[in-house]
């Protein structure tokens, strides 16, 4: 395994072991529930949005290591961003998992640790569950989000 892949794996394992922003937010202004029907895993995203800025984001859920790490890193990536910026990051994350971001030279920062997931289609759903759920919370969608 290359040094870079080893580093990416370590980051994912760290965020799985010690997920950031993992708590129930009592003062959330928006929430959404996501579900991966392939495995039954779930994630709930809490947002506190003020003046169009994600001032606070947290989550709770049960997921595999990729899902938990992806949710943790997602919360770190979008906190302090505008809703539009977070939406843009969501779009770029998708582009990364289809290989398009690399072709277009889009920089993904620490989210690059999930780049290798695109080789495993089932795992792509693990990595994107949090982002779909974030998207639903930002759009104020009421129905549960599914990766299917």
Q: Which phi and psi angles does 120 have, rounded to 5°?
A: -130, 90
Angle, in degrees to the nearest 10, between helices 83-97 and 65-78: 140
State in angstroms the smallest separation of the CB of 44 from ligand FES. 14
Task: Give the Cα separation of 96 and 20 in Å (integer).
Answer: 22
Residue 32 three-state SS = strand
Using CB under 6 A, which of 16, 21, 31, 36 touches ligand FES? Answer: 36
Looking at the chain, list the stretches that DSSP marks H as alpha helix, in order from N- to C-terminal side: 3-17, 65-78, 83-97, 100-104, 121-138
Nearer to ligand FES, 14 or 102 (CB): 14
The tokens describing 28, both together, are: 């959330």
Task: Give the Cα separation of 106 and 67 in Å (integer).
Answer: 23
Nearer to ligand FES, 38 or 106 (CB): 38
State in angstroms the smallest separation of the CB of 78 from ligand FES. 19
Q: Which phi and psi angles does 64 have, rounded to 5°?
A: -70, 180
113 binds ligand FES (CB under 6 A): no
Site pattern 40..69 for ligand FES (x: CB under 6 A): -x---------------------xx-xx--
39 binds ligand FES (CB under 6 A): yes
108 binds ligand FES (CB under 6 A): no
Nearer to ligand FES, 56 or 70 (CB): 70
Q: Which residues here bind ligand FES, judged by CB under 6 A?
A: 36, 39, 41, 63-64, 66-67, 126, 129
């Amino acid at each position: 395994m290359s040094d870079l892949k080893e580093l990416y794996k370590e980051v994912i394992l760290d965020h799985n072991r010690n997920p950031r922003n993992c708590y129930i937010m009592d003062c959330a202004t928006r929430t959404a529930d996501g579900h991966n029907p392939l495995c039954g895993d779930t994630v709930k995203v809490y947002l506190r949005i003020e003046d169009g800025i994600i001032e606070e984001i947290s989550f709770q859920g049960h997921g595999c290591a990729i899902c938990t790490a992806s949710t943790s890193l997602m919360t770190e990536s979008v906190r302090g961003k505008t809703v539009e910026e977070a939406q843009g990051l969501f779009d770029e994350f998708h582009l990364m998992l289809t290989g398009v971001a690399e072709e277009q030279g889009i920089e993904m920062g620490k989210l690059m640790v999930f780049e290798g997931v695109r080789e495993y289609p089932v795992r792509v759903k693990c990595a994107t569950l949090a982002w779909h759920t974030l998207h639903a919370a930002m759009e104020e969608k009421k129905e549960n989000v599914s990766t299917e």
